[in-house]
Amino acid sequence: MKFHLLTIFPAFFDGPFQHGVVARGAQFGSLELKVHDLRKYTHDLHRTVDDRPFGGGEGMLLKPEPLFDAVEDIWPERTPQRRVILLSASGRKFTQQVARELLQYEELLFICGRYEGVDERVAEHLADEELSIGDYVLSGGELAAAVIVDSVARLLPGVVGNADSTVNESFEDGLLDCPQWTRPAEFRGWKVPEVLLGGNHAEIKKWRKQAAREKTARFRPDLLA
Ligand code: 9D3
C-alpha cells in the first residue's frame, strides 16, 4: 500500500515513520510512504498557503488552489483504488473498523490541515472523505495522519511479524485486552494470579475472558452496551 501525506510541515513525519512497524514495512516493501510539501504547489513569492475567512472570524484557512494543484499533480488520474482523506476535527470518527476499511485501497492520500481549517471546497470537491481521530482539539492534521498510517500499516500483510497477531485484537471482539503479567511472579509483594502460573490452559482461557469482561465493564462500559 502506498501512503501520501500532503503537509506544510514535511519534516514532521521524519520521527514517527523512522521507527517501528511503519519503518519496517517500508524497508521490506509492504508499504511506501511519500511526504509532499504543500508549499511546492504555491506560485507566489511568499509561497502563501493560507488566507482569511470570508465573512470574518478568527485565524486563517488553507487556500484551495495549492491543495487542488498538489493532489492533481500527485494523482493525475483518480481511480477507485485511490482515496483522498482530509484530516479534520469535524470528520467521521476513525476507529479500528475504519482502519480495516482503508485496507481495500491501493493508495491513500492524506491532506493535513493547519491553522483554523481548510476551505470547504476541499472537503466537498477534492477529498473523498473527512476523518477525525477523536473528540479533542489538535493543532493540525499531521499527528492524526501519523496515527492513521500507523494503525493501517500494521494490518498490512508482512508488516507485523506474526501473520495472525492482528486477527484477535482489542476492539475487534468488543472487549479490552485481558490484563497480563511477566516475571517475577511476585514483585514488591504484588502477586501474579495463581491460575496463570499453572499449566491448565482451559482454566487460563476462561479466567482471561472473565478478566477482559471485568476490565471492559470498569473502563469502557460503552463497549459492552
Ligand atoms: C474547535 C475549534 N476550531 C478551531 C478554532 C476548529 C478546529 C480547527 C482546526 C479544531 C482543530 C483544528 C486542527 N485539527 C485538525 O486539523 C484535526 C483533528 C483534531 O483537532 N482532532 C481530532 N482529529 C483531527 S484530524 C485533524
**132 CB within 6 A, ligand 1:** yes
Task: Read off the CATH number of the domain in which 205 is found.
Answer: 1.10.1270.20
Q: What pLDDT, in 10s, does the model give residues 207-219?
A: 999 999 999 999 9
Cβ partners under 8 Å of residue 181, min gap 6: 192, 193, 196
Answer yes or no: is 179 within a domain: yes
Tell which of 153, 181, 198 closes a domain. Answer: 153
Angle at 6 between CA 84 and CA 133, to 5 degrees: 65
Indicate the number of domains in the chain. Answer: 2
pLDDT, mean over the chain:
96
Closest by CA to 35, choosing from 13, 65, 56, is 13
Q: What pLDDT, in 10s, does the model give residues 61-87?
A: 999 999 999 999 999 999 999 999 999
Residues 69, 100 share a domain? yes
Answer yes or no: is 159 within a domain: no
Cα end-to-end distance, the chain, whole Å: 35
Residue whose CB lies within 8 A of the most ligand 1 atoms, among 5, 6, 137, 143, for a mutation test = 137
Answer yes or no: is 74 within a domain: yes
Could you list the residue range(s) of the whole structural domain that residue 46 is in?
2-153
Answer yes or no: is 160 within a domain: no
Distance from C-alpha of 82 to C-alpha of 128, rounded to nearest angstrom: 9
Answer yes or no: is 114 within a domain: yes
User: pTM above 0.75?
Assistant: yes
Backbone torsions φ then ψ of 44, nearest 5 degrees: -100, 165
Answer yes or no: is 56 within a domain: yes
Closest by CA to 9, choosing from 148, 107, 110, 125, is 110
Distance from C-alpha of 122 to C-alpha of 71, rounded to nearest angstrom: 10
Tell which of 126, 153, 180 closes a domain. Answer: 153
Q: What pLDDT, in 10s, does the model give residues 150-192?
A: 999 999 998 976 456 777 677 878 999 999 999 999 999 999 9
Residues 102, 11 share a domain? yes
Distance from C-alpha of 32 to C-alpha of 25, rounded to nearest angstrom: 8
